[in-house]
Chain A
């Protein structure tokens, strides 16, 4: 069975550039989550969707970050403009419901120079 699929696996870019991360959730899962993980702050929830609708975006750091889920099988997280402090591993996860076990993608390792 296909799990959560994220792309790209790695991204290195210069500050000021736009970065777009992509996620395909597990088919049939109704909830999708975007996380950021750093050594200092651990795993932070940025935003989550339920049935393609954003429910809680209180974790989105600032207006430079935006996320969309145009349909049940695709979501994007965009950073524009990117800054060095955005460097982290970004995970996408999906689940049947917001309080059910989540399945994670392999993550995108983002480095902003």
Chain B
């Protein structure tokens, strides 16, 4: 099993739709979780951190399910500008504490 797994998509949704992505992780001791967004030919940018209690930032909601070892990202009222690749990032709870990156989920929001 890969350390961090995401459905690559692509997810094609119309404007205004609600879309959700999941990301599973293998290390039950992981403690830091993030969602990044990457536009085509650009660098990844932090979208939001994921907290145990879940967190919301405008149209974006992130949830953590420790029992099932996954995190989720929900986008409401999707905009054309939300089209991007969404990367799930989880810390590796080993001695060197590095972050492990998923391969990303591609989202295309269509007019």
Give A contacts to B, CB under 8 Å. Answer: 42-43, 45, 48, 55-56, 91, 97-107
State A42–B87 Cα separation when bound (angstroms).
10
B14-22, B42-50, B55-63 - the one binding chain A: B42-50
In the complex, residue of chain B having the shortest beta-carbon distance to the beta carbon of A45? B98
Give B contacts to A, CB under 8 Å. Answer: 31-32, 34, 42-46, 49, 87, 91, 96-99, 101-104
Query: How many pairs, one residue from A and one from B, have CB atoms within 8 Å of each other in the complex?
Result: 45
* Chain B interface mostly: loop
A107 adjacent to B49 (CB under 8 Å): no
Between-chain CB contacts (< 8 Å), 5 pairs = A55-B98, A99-B97, A99-B99, A102-B46, A106-B43
Closest 5 CB pairs of A and B: A104-B43, A42-B103, A99-B91, A99-B97, A98-B97
